[in-house]
Structure 1
Amino acid sequence: MNSKRVVITGLGALSALGNDVKSNWQSAKEGKSGAGKISYFDPEKFKTRFASELRDFDPTLRLDRNDIKRSDLFTQYALYVAAEAMEDSGLDVSKLNSPFDAGVIWGTSQGGMNTLEKEMSEFIANDRSPRFNPFFHPKFLVNMASGVISMKFGLMGINYTAVTACASSNSAIMDAFNYIKWGKAKVIITGGSDAPITEASMGGFNALKALSTRNDDPGTASRPFDVDRDGFVMGEGAAALILEEYEHAKKRGAKIYGEVVGAAMTADAYHLTATHPEGAGAYQCMKFALEEAGLAMQDVDYLNAHATSTPTGDLSEIKAIARLLDGDYDNMHISATKSMTGHLLGAAGAIEAIFCVKTINEGIVPPTINTENLDPAIPEGIQIVTKTAIEKKVKVALSNTFGFGGHNASVIFKEFA
């Protein structure tokens, strides 16, 4: 089978750093934190009372009343960024040879958690009387974002949702890349969304001792690779990428942000929530992606680390990276943008993919903020960009995401030439 080239022709983003790609990227370059005290509910009884919430989000700017009424927040976020990406791409669906040439592959970790939590709370409060909203199931189902995006834009090709916890959107991007590469689609909207700042989510992750409890200073709570890191900061939002077969994009005169050249998924087969301590699955995942791209780790100029600011997870990823670099640390720079956005769970890979693409486009590597004292277990010479962004020519960027259940997903982006 002759492989097709897969390029990126549209972007959309939504996080605590901003409500579009431009503001997200500007805030990331400036090293801003999106963390603050939770406003969606009273968090005083919780061990963690802060998160990275969206600011001034107005769904009516891109969604109509029925979109909002019938959709959980995670789907609203998905529609919002998909609309930005479609507008950015300049794609006219009516001019496709067939609506079956275009599809949606989306990622989410929790799906409609807000809807599920609200409906079940009301069910219990009403003496367990079954007075459920008729949109209860359509709103909380994890596949609904991909379905609704396809309906919104008339895309009748491949359509499904990847659910691999915090690796979900990288899994979705990989699948979209493969379907286009194999000639089974011309255009795919891909990415991910999650809206996990709810009482159940916060309480559950607190019970796992996964969240930072730095309540006195939320803005500095996410500190990947720092010796004093104590857990991740919950974030929310979404990001979308339009992946397109190169000849199709060229024919319609689309602007091209970059190219997807390799991707892989592996499993740790180790623990429900912890990564393999030596990064065995992460190592092989990156290795497979590099092999597909025809690259060595030393060819990667920038790596956006999964690094959530957990004591064990950050180190296992660094061990895998160091093993691949084999002591040759001179070229690669690493940063963890979750230090600014918080951890968007199933949307993490998508927003970080956009940061990789923008890094390639502008030659600016965003920083890892709040990291004051690197963990002494990190090999000397590993180049982690801390505090402020740096200027650097970036031709190849690699993005990692890892999820509960031992899911690993890596995607490689390259300067288009």
Structure 2
Amino acid sequence: MKSMLVFIWGLLLVITTETRVEIMPSLGYIELNESKVFVCVVEGAVQEMKWLHPSGKEIRDREDERLQVEQADKIVSKLVIRDAQLQDAGRYQCVCRFDESYAETAAVTVTVVQKPTFLNPKTYHEFLEGSEAFVPCDVTGIPQPLVTWKHKGRDVMHTEDGRFLLTAQGLLIQGVRGSDQGLYRCEGRIVDRGEVQSLDISVVVNVPPTVRIREGKVNVTAGSGVNVSLACLVNGHPHPYISWIRDGGPVVAEPGRFGFNSDQSVLTIYAVEKADEGQYTCTATNKINSSRDDVTLHVTANQTEEEVPSPHSTGHTVQATGGQAATVGTLDLMKAQRKEQLAVLQSLAAQQEILVRRVAEIGAEISQLTATLLPVLHSLSPPEKAHD
């Protein structure tokens, strides 16, 4: 029993005299320009606690505004690193002396890091089509981040034409096109720490306007119910302003005479007259340049609407056989009226012939459809029951 008591007493003596020094947190990552506190905790009857700089020099309170030591109590000491800089990286030690001959040390390795950071970010750029476009994206970090670019969700380096080149400060696009316009995303990634920062950049490609008239010459016959549309195909960015000119003067909207669609690329002339004949010019203008194209409108007068002599006019008289006068004007008017009536009758006859032919075609189609469907309908009919 006595030996057992001696063993327990010795064990208690070992436990009570055990010492331990620990620094928290054990990982020494500090963000650049940020502050952090490291706490040194000791177990045991410590006589002295001090912090050593990576250079080996003791860190004394108030000697450096950014590196300070605070003694919370006899067993806790704090090292405060403020506004961390790259030169603050290194191995810091907390040295605890228990008596004249015995001391223990704990250490923490401080690493100054920086998240991916964009320097002087500019998120909007304009370029002229065909030029060399440089989109800046200067990304810094500790360690230096890996930079990638995306356009419309795809890595720009996966394009097949090789016009995209990555540089240390941004993205170079050779011979920029209208299709290159859009939102680009510049990503800075530090793989080891799983940190990603992104910057969205809008790229606008300005394109000079181009104009192309669908038909260079348009022929039309005048008439109260005849309308003609003159169209020009316009491209460019920003979208050009479109205007029309005739005989050196602007063509403006006029109810019942001239009208335009929403962007004025189509000019409609209502109830075309002989006086509307001439050259029309479509002009497209944006902040880059302007472009134009011409269309010639040729109007043929409608004979039925030409001015004819009055039935009551004697017109021009000539001497006929038997010495009697004949009124040429009246005869001409009657001939014109007969010609007009004949044209109407011919038009009606043609329409009737087309109608008859179409009815015959529809009848043939119905017969063919019936011949096709009858076998199908017979196959779907239930079989007749046999009579006893």
TM (normalized to structure 1)? 0.18
Higher strand share: 2
Which one has a larger percent helix, Structure 1 or Structure 2?
A: 1
- Radius of gyration: which is bigger? 2
TM-score, normalization by structure 2: 0.19
